[in-house]
Amino acid sequence: MYRRWLRWYPQRYRVVYGIGMERMFIDRLAEVRNESGCVGVAFLLIREAWGVTVTALSQRAERWSPRKSTGRTSTQASNHGADWPNAPRGMAWRSIGQDARHALRALIKNPGYALIAVFTLAIGIGANAAIFSVVNGVLLTPLPFQNPEQLVRIWETDPDGYGMGFSPPNFESFSSEVTLMEEMVAYGPTSLTLTGLGDPERLSAMQISAGFFRFLGVPMGLGREFLPDEDGFVADPGAQQVVILDHGMWQQRFAGDRDIIGQTVVLDGVSRTIVGVAPRDLPFGSDDTDIWITWPFDERDLTLRGRHWLRALGRLRPEATLEAAATEFDAIAASLSEAYPESNAGWGILVLPLMDEMVGGVRTQLWILLGAVGFVLLIACSNVANLCLARAEVRGREMAVRSALGAGRGRISSLLLSESMLLAVAGGMVGLGLAWVGVRAVLGGVGSGVPRASEVGVDGTVLGFTTLVVLICGVAVGLIAALQHMRRDHSSALREGGQQVLDSGGRRHVSGILVVTEVALSLMLVIGAALLIKSFWLLIHVDAGFDRQRLLIATISLPESSYQSDAQRATLFGDLVREIGQRPGVANVAATTGLPIIGGRLTVISLPERPEEMLHPIARRRVTSDYFRTMGIPMLEGRSFNVGDQPDAPHVVIVKETLAKRCFPSESAIGKSILWGGPDGTEPFEIIGVVGDNKQYGLADEVLPAMYLEYAQIYVSEYMHLTVRAEGDPYALLPAIRETLRTLDPSLPIYEVTTMDQVLSDSVGSERFSVLLLGAFAMIALLLGSIGIYGVMSYTVSQRTQEVGVRMALGAAHKRVVSMVVRQGMVLALIGIALGTLGALGLSRVLSGMLYQVSSTDLTTFLSVILLLTTVAAIACYVPARRAANIDPLDALRYE
């Protein structure tokens, strides 16, 4: 390891002394390890690293500009040791503490510079710490389950390849026949009504197999799990009267009562015994599961292979691989396909690691954001480096005096390094504070877009990362300043009476390079943000196919115990819709089993001419007659449902335009039939209407073909979503709706109340997250970049005051001076813009997965951003240029 450090030294030095140094280091290491253990070793490493850095630098410097003979040799001591307060004689050793104290004093004497530098670094380091803590919590930390790498999510895939749930009998077949899986469990969300504890309340529930929590490897909060003979797969509904509370629910609703085990609650009219409390902070499913119950299968459920509604998890055996398990699953699927062709033909299995499934969607976004903050940090460091260089110029005279009096290059470079390390450490501490606040705020605001958000925090790994960043920044900035200092010819500075001689082009080159880098990086960031913003804008303004304004949504669910027949359910929903429609302020009202954007059930159909050819996936909705008018979906042909479409009348269906065009491309679909059916076989449905397309599963998705059934004609669902178009504020209608429902059935709660606008807004939560953050970073980059250009130009102007004065005294026009300064600055900026554009062209394809209807090389975006940056750069150059032009030639010449 020490050998790698030694590479800092010039080749010749290494060849001669390298082996000896390495050996000495090893000897020292052994001694310290024996005497002081780990702490001593750590101290030694730090000291030695410092020593190597400093001396390597001065050795290199001596090679570049060999010390001019001043009549003394390098072994001689300085004659005036007093110029360096507190310094020991000679330059051979110093403690880090010494350097730090000296640097601190220098910084305190210049508070303005120090504050700006610390703050700039704090922004860069803080942003990095914040994003890294998100990346760490979401992507890098393994899931908090036992052996999480063995856990997989499993889907059945339909013949089109879409991932679907399991059907109960299929699940049983697979889990009993597979050998490479230790275990499989099924789970699925649902909701139940809680009564008997105040107002009826709708609770979110998760149905699970027995032993679910043991499968995950997390201990219960209290009590026990579901026993095997309570499992829905084997028990009859009579034995399933148990429930597990979720931890949050237990704390809030039941005040963490430890005697809760054994008490009963009434859910959907059935009394259940509480047998346990779930583990706390389980990052599973949605965060708002209130209770956990067993699968409520009846005998029929366990025979229907065609109803796919279970979600499944599996645990691989330690020696099995994912691919091997997938192959085995495929084989089992094939055998089931043969055994049950009507339900299983063409169905397969998809297996993915659980981690991928949970975080895969945001992985790209998060890494992109981390890259973006990396850019911001580079820009911040460049700014601070330029600051340091500028200050080093100012102290050039001071440095030159010290240098001539014998303070070696090593001394000065170690001083500069100490200063930059101090700045970096201060910036790091402030930055961590900013990060801590920032992460909380961002996740709180946009958290719905980020999975595992509860596991994100500023922990040890983040601190370690930040420390690393701080070290790199400190060393980088210090090195630039130190190297630059060493290349300069000090004697000339003394001779010229302090004014910096212009042939020290080295400094201008370095700061020029820094400016170009800053501009290029800013450009890339701003282009990325602009692309995302444009994409987001297009996304939320896409035509969803329906009118989203003032639309209130609510869900009603009917418990099986009180509503056992289709007729009962049809009556309730029908009455509800009718009564609400008569309330003031209601423009239209309808009910549906599936809302746009959120989705609904998928099914298959076929045409009478070719009954064996399955068409899927087809979305299926059951709606009341006013649905299309309420939603603002245009009826293109035919009619909507009416009173005549009763269960005993001919079965009718309304289809979407896409479906009509697909099945009947050259003629009207009205009057034609499609075949659809449940487990009892298919039957023909006459098409009576064609409606306009509307988005099914998300704004960015393509339109899925869909069919609409009259809600009561075939089978009435236990739950429906109410859609109410309000004339004014949708939420103002809520009391009236609740009251209507109460008059019909006081035990029914209304839940998931929201508006369509909110639903749409939530659906783009993760895109919004990226846009906001990347936009913020781009603005910071732009700001820092323009400050950088301004700073450099302004400094150059002040350094060249003398030259400018001379020019003006000799008759140069005001304008020429201004244009000269601006031209020099713009040259740098334009180089940066050109490089940045090339970089953006190359890198923007990384974003292409996140862009909606925007190409990653969108011309208008690129051109507008280039224009923006050119303008900003021009302003940043112009302001100092004007100052140059206002210089009084006499003042300038007088200033020596």
Partner 1 sequence: MTDQPRAVKDHVPLTDLSFHILLALGDGVSHGYAIGKDVERRSKGRLNPTTGSLYQALRRLHDADLIAEAPAPKDPSTTDSRRQYFRLTPFGKRVFAHEARRLEILIAAARDKNLIPKRP
- Closest to partner 1 by CB, 206 or 417: 417
Least distance between partner 1 and beta carbon 57 (Å): 10
Q: Give the other-Cβ count within 10 Å of 541's Cβ.
A: 9
Round to whole Å and give the CA distance between 611 and 619: 19
- Closest to partner 1 by CB, 15 or 875: 15
Question: Going by DSSP bridges, is the β-strand pair 681-691/311-316 parallel, antiparallel, or unpaired?
Answer: unpaired
Of 14-22, 428-436, 605-613, 725-733, which segment contacts partner 1 by CB under 8 A? Answer: 14-22
Q: With CA atoms as reference, report the closest residue to 197 among 154, 141, 260.
A: 260
Residue of 35, 93, 108, 198 interacting with partner 1 (CB under 8 A): 93
Q: With CA atoms as reference, report the closest residue to 240 among 268, 264, 266, 273.
A: 273
830-840: buried (b, 16+ CB within 10 Å) or exposed (e) per residue?
A: bbbbebbbebb
Residue of 77, 197, 472, 732 interacting with partner 1 (CB under 8 A): 77
- Closest to partner 1 by CB, 13 or 347: 13
| Binders in 215-234 for partner 1, by CB under 8 A | none
- Closest to partner 1 by CB, 20 or 198: 20
Question: Element (H or E) spanning 590, and its range?
Answer: strand 586-592
Least distance between partner 1 and beta carbon 492 (Å): 24
Round to whole Å and give the CA distance between 384 and 817: 28
Least distance between partner 1 and beta carbon 22 (Å): 7
Q: Please report, for residues 251, 572, 652, 686, 691, the alpha-carbon distance to residue 649 in angstroms, rounded to integers and kept in the order given.
A: 53, 21, 9, 11, 22
Q: With CA atoms as reference, report the closest residue to 483 among 458, 463, 513.
A: 513
Round to whole Å and give the CA distance between 323 and 306: 26
Beta carbons within 8 Å of 330's beta carbon, 6+ residues apart: 348, 349
| Binders in 44-73 for partner 1, by CB under 8 A | 47-48, 50-56, 58-59, 72-73
Least distance between partner 1 and beta carbon 75 (Å): 5
Least distance between partner 1 and beta carbon 33 (Å): 14
Q: Give the N- to C-terminal CA distance of the chain in Å, as an integer.
A: 51
Asked if residue 617 has a cis previous peptide bond (ω within 30° of 0), the answer is: yes
Of 90-98, 332-340, 575-583, 730-738, which segment contacts partner 1 by CB under 8 A? Answer: 90-98
Least distance between partner 1 and beta carbon 284 (Å): 53
Q: Please report, for residues 386, 426, 796, 895, the alpha-carbon distance to residue 389 in angstroms, rounded to integers and kept in the order given.
A: 5, 19, 12, 22
How many residues bind to partner 1 according to rule CB under 8 A?
Answer: 36
- Closest to partner 1 by CB, 28 or 601: 28
Least distance between partner 1 and beta carbon 32 (Å): 12
294, 192 contact by CB (below 8 A) = no
Q: With CA atoms as reference, report the closest residue to 517 among 379, 644, 640, 616.
A: 379
Q: Maximum distance among all alpha carbons in the chain?
A: 116
Least distance between partner 1 and beta carbon 408 (Å): 9
Residue of 1, 38, 39, 74 interacting with partner 1 (CB under 8 A): 74
Residue of 34, 70, 75, 86 interacting with partner 1 (CB under 8 A): 75
Of 9-17, 207-215, 221-229, 860-868, which segment contacts partner 1 by CB under 8 A? Answer: 9-17
- Closest to partner 1 by CB, 17 or 852: 17
- Closest to partner 1 by CB, 165 or 408: 408
- Beta strands per DSSP E along 593-649: 601-607, 610-623, 635-638
- Closest to partner 1 by CB, 409 or 721: 409
| Binders in 410-439 for partner 1, by CB under 8 A | 410
Least distance between partner 1 and beta carbon 106 (Å): 22
Round to whole Å and give the CA distance between 422 and 432: 15
- Closest to partner 1 by CB, 20 or 681: 20
Least distance between partner 1 and beta carbon 466 (Å): 27
506-532: buried (b, 16+ CB within 10 Å) or exposed (e) per residue?
A: ebeebbbebbbbbbbbbbbbbbbbbbb
Least distance between partner 1 and beta carbon 88 (Å): 7
| Binders in 354-413 for partner 1, by CB under 8 A | 410
Least distance between partner 1 and beta carbon 90 (Å): 4
- Closest to partner 1 by CB, 66 or 665: 66
Beta carbons within 8 Å of 582's beta carbon, 6+ residues apart: none
| Binders in 281-310 for partner 1, by CB under 8 A | none
Residue of 92, 140, 255, 810 interacting with partner 1 (CB under 8 A): 92
Verify binding: residue 88, partner 1, rule CB under 8 A: yes
Of 42-50, 418-426, 489-497, 588-596, which segment contacts partner 1 by CB under 8 A? Answer: 42-50
Which positions from 19 to 38 touch partner 1 by CB under 8 A, shown as an x/- string?
A: xxxxxxx-xx----------
Least distance between partner 1 and beta carbon 479 (Å): 16
Least distance between partner 1 and beta carbon 2 (Å): 8
- Closest to partner 1 by CB, 408 or 791: 408
Round to whole Å and give the CA distance between 478 and 499: 24
- Spell out the alpha helix ranges (H) of 136-261: 168-177, 212-216, 247-253
Q: Give the other-Cβ count within 10 Å of 94's Cβ.
A: 20
- Spell out the alpha helix ranges (H) of 626-755: 627-631, 657-663, 734-744
Contacting residues toward partner 1, per CB under 8 A? 13, 16-17, 19-25, 27-28, 47-48, 50-56, 58-59, 72-77, 88-93, 410
